[in-house]
Structure 1
């Protein structure tokens, strides 16, 4: 009879930008074509598009919970990383535990079968990992397995087939060596951006599941670094900080000032298959905008910002910053429907049928860098102001107060990163 052994769920997500490492791509100055080059196999009805609505629903439920717990803090995470890791772990869950995990991820199992879900993630991850001249994206998973544990071949095979997971058999009795192995792997896969993901491992740990998302993206319309100057950013009514503010004076951008909501929305494209929406609430109206942040609202904004009449000349001020987010999933997920996942009642007999496994903890870390040439998880939002003069009537968008950011893969309609920038000076 074995005591409960532990599964550890770790997630690392970031958008990383390296100056000049991606090859240059020339685009016309007056670009009004809102479409991106389609990734092969991502047309209407594709497996990845079938799981996109549930993934978006989970992303926003996770965001709303974090925002309710810490309304005045920066938020940044990768919902894709969390969803993919949980879906992969569900391959080893059985009975009610498996159903609870998939429904917790937002899937309606009467409309989408378990196999459809895993095929959807398989298709999604495959397309996100396709090589590109313009966009460096890498999404992956790794399983670190206790070499003494008799894992079921079906579980190991399916994690590799559907989630392209790498397998490492290791000695968990040597916690220092295993910790170093995991951290070195994550550091390598994220180009050195996430270090020391694992702190201390328990000797009764039997499996560590790691998921990571790395994105290196360049703006289609970069900012000129020499024009960046320090300006005020109004965190709240009593707090003002200085941030480097980037400038676009005479560029065309996709943006709108919502007629029905107190916010402006700016769409900024990256070279390749990625786009960012920046949502800037009017002063003091963040909570009101957050309350209507739904999949339907994101779709509405995105659809509107495909129309040519929203592609207009803009005077843009946008902050340059770096932030990060760190979350303890074993405290968050049970409140989002995953009530069994981290409890002794969880059934992971699909991983091994000889030992009782329990998931004691889960962690997620994400980083975001935004600068003149690109973004890692570009965060930003626009506030539209009419500037009237005798000769001109043009718009000014000034990102000088808290805003929301949504970065997504254009072809798969999947949210890669989601966050809120309250204070860009806090890392």
Structure 2
């Protein structure tokens, strides 16, 4: 659901661009009656009128739902997800679903809000955009089916055409099936995600498997000589020392959200991607208020409203991984019927149901970047002093493809040491 962008306050105590910019911003008005009494309805942002962007917003909103549910299940640990890869597996599965089950999946993915007769064709365009070589994103999804299953011939061609997926039928030999899955994972991620020793679950009917890897390259690299051990506050009482990258004259985009009581910063990455950080003003592990605000539309509004500033920046080096199930998480997104009695009659004539949803994700950033960015010249009345932005307490990050608006990764970092 579209959220009205909250006010971004630009106090003189933080940054001063010029004398004409020393006043606080004002909140955007809600739609309401005009002078004639007629209700004024805000027009749809032109960005979302592009079919691939509209689809990206829909599956991203599913991603934020998935993240919120996972975070509520793991309130005291880091959370890392690549929701697009999970959404891709579900969207691909809908090609094999009858009308009832297809509608269930499409509602969870917010397709019911899209007037697009070719969802799957547009999804192919989206995947091509976000996995282009310059993006540094490796993402893969797969449908795994029980042994000796006879697949209907009409299911495979559209699956390959739109998603580049061929369904995998198990052999029934756990060792061979695990080896094949690991080989596939290595090939799809170009070796970026290591092999897993976790056994495949027994009695699989349908298993959805998704994986993604990303190693970010900043547009402006950090000087490794300035990386040092610094304090990270786990909470009000506990502090650890972690490697922190520093840039005393970083150029970033910034906003202070007074409603969420957090400082928001955006750093550009190569390949038309960006990282958005949500940092509470006070040390806290309860990030629920921020999490509940996350939608595609809200993030898009933030991207438009943040202002470019100079800052003293410190960012922890990060290497996070996730290897496990998201089955129960997916069930809570009004998809329980997929595990009970779905109609997957376009896949096979046998009654089958979703057994498990597996997800593997690996995400990291360090000092690597494309090079030095031009620094603004010191001019009277402009950038009179820098703001401090230190990711030295629990925070949330969002990795977004700026071309399509697609959510690629997001996480809750309570402890930057991982996993």
Where on the TM-score scale, by shorter chain, does this alignment land: which range?
Answer: 0.7 to 0.9
Matches for 1:48-63 after TM superposition, within 5 Å: 48-63=52-67
Contact 2:97 2:346 in 1 (8 A): yes
Out of 324, 333, 336, the residue aligned to residue 333 of structure 2 is 336
Count of residue pairs the alignment pairs up:
360
Out of 336, 344, 364, the residue aligned to residue 348 of structure 1 is 344
SS of equivalent to 2:356: strand
Matches for 1:216-295 after TM superposition, within 5 Å: 216-284=215-283, 286-295=287-296
Q: 1:202 to 1:301 in 2, by over 3 A?
A: closer
State the distance in 1 between where 2:76 and 2:137 align: 31
State the distance in 2 between where 1:208 and 1:125 align: 21
SS of equivalent to 1:82: helix
SS of equivalent to 2:219: coil
More strand by share: 1
Aligned CA RMSD, in angstroms, stands at 2.6
State the distance in 1 between where 2:164 and 2:60 align: 22
Contact 1:172 1:205 in 2 (8 A): no
The CA deviation at 1:66 is 1.9
State the distance in 2 between where 1:147 and 1:153 align: 17
| TM-score (norm: length of structure 1) | 0.77
Contact 2:89 2:142 in 1 (8 A): no
Out of 385, 396, 421, the residue aligned to residue 388 of structure 2 is 396
SS of equivalent to 2:132: coil
Contact 1:58 1:106 in 2 (8 A): yes
Match of 1:117 in 2: 119
Please identify, of 117-126 and 209-218, the stretch whose mean Cα deviation from structure 2 is larger. 209-218
Gap regions ≥5 residues in structure 2: 1-45, 371-382
State the distance in 1 between where 2:264 and 2:201 align: 46
SS of equivalent to 1:324: strand
Gap regions ≥5 residues in structure 1: 1-41, 376-390
| TM-score (norm: length of structure 2) | 0.79
SS of equivalent to 1:350: coil
State the distance in 2 between where 1:302 and 1:105 align: 23
Contact 1:141 1:166 in 2 (8 A): no
The CA deviation at 1:201 is 3.4
Match of 1:423 in 2: 415
State the distance in 2 between where 1:58 and 1:143 align: 19
Out of 77, 82, 85, the residue aligned to residue 81 of structure 1 is 85
Contact 2:96 2:345 in 1 (8 A): yes
Contact 2:150 2:348 in 1 (8 A): yes
Contact 1:47 1:123 in 2 (8 A): no
Pairing 1:157–2:157 present:
yes
Q: 1:394 to 1:136 in 2, by over 3 A?
A: closer
